[in-house]
Structure 1
Amino acid sequence: MISEDELSRLMQLAIADKAAEPAFFRALLEATVYAHAPRHDRSGRLRFIQFTTPDGLTVLPFFSDETQAKSAAGANATVVVLLGRQLFELARGATFMLNPNTVSCTLYPEEVAALLDRGEVAVLERVEAGEHQYRINPLDEIPAWVVDHLLPLFAALPCVSAAYAVEIGNSDTPGRGLLIAVAVPIKDAERVARATTTALQTHADELQLSVDLTAFEPGEVPDWLADAVVAPFYERAIGERLVPGSERVQ
């Protein structure tokens, strides 16, 4: 068991330094957490309350301390107490939001699965292009791991319309890397970025080079990508064949 004080300490470290996030989320599995269930539910089953954010994301809120949970419960909810691991297992497939009324963070289904199954948490770093000049070139050959690991992932995410792989270089830094460009609605871009990072981190030893990801709205291919004259390695039609009924997946 992880005490509330220890969990709070690890949370503050994670807020200050992204490198500390994996230790916090692993501790969360063994800590007491608090969720909401309907107060007058007569179904005989444990059902968790969810809500939809202004961005249209449906999340299951939970809390790291009882005070926050009771304050947010209101008149129609009751507080459910359980271990983090139990909550994630019971509602596997949901998108979780920790402490939504304070310094919240979101855990997407792919991240929860990696945490439960392998104890892994990907660290996502957001980089603004700013004034940097990047060199974009077509790849002679798309690495096999791209197809092997990202095709099934994107097939399970019907919000992804297409994905491209190009070579990227930075005039400020020697060497070259791989850039994955994904056509996905902006509201779903964070989930896709986190799911992709989670999938690739598991196979980091295979990569042999740096990997970045960028997203754009479907149907609005950026000029730099059009100029590279590359074909997508993934299209939604592929996903529909790999995952029957994928258009209905939420």
Structure 2
Amino acid sequence: MTISQDNALEQALERAAGEPAYRPAFFKLLLTATVYVPGEAGDDWIAGAARDDGAARDDGASPVTLQHWEKQDGGSAIPFFTSVAALESAVAGPQPFVALPVRTLFAMTAGAELFLNPKLPYGKSFAPDEVAALLSNDGDALTERQVLEGEMRMTLSEPAEMPQQMVASLTALFAQYKQVRRAYLLQVRDDAEQEPHWLIGLECDSAAEEAIQATGQVATDTAPDEQPVDICLVEEGEAGISHYFIHHLTPFYERRWGSWLRSVKDGAPS
């Protein structure tokens, strides 16, 4: 990993910590990264240590011993770092480490808790189920997601008060996904539920699955009181819930074609 890539991952982590809209992009970048883990490797590896040159790199077969650091709650987690510089900032002296692709690290530590950039201003813990979801769903950190399609008997209502953080973060997210044309928000309750939950309707031009995946991550992170969130696809000309969204609600997000076209024009070759 080059220095510029290290910086990109650290910048993505900082953005994700401050704004949920950037978390899907962070997870995707993380899964392509190489990270630095305190520990030691077998004799057939290149030795590495913080404040020294070089690091061991995993080939998927050689044995490694990774450190566990104690957390404030008394438990332990395997630490890993976005860069050698980040690792150096978290330790008091020379520290042996190995460099591992994130997918390799996650696979070889299945069932353990991990922590990215502990003791630093921006970090993130990874529970075992979250790690498993990231690996199996190719960057989707949600362990459970429901997408509503087809006919369902539901009671729909406009929220008395919009969830401001969720709306703001989703608006920032959709600016990154040009395939999202409009987004709507309702509260919904089916016959089996006592309390309503949120329903997000997405109208997309293409690549809906990618937008749904990112929407689920951000909405789950920002829903008030950890309320459940469902997602449905909205299509012009469809009956049922699509018709209700399009003809009875004002979208909380609508793609601004003017700004998108200007950005294309600005970047076009002369």
Q: What's the TM-score, normalizing by structure 2?
A: 0.44
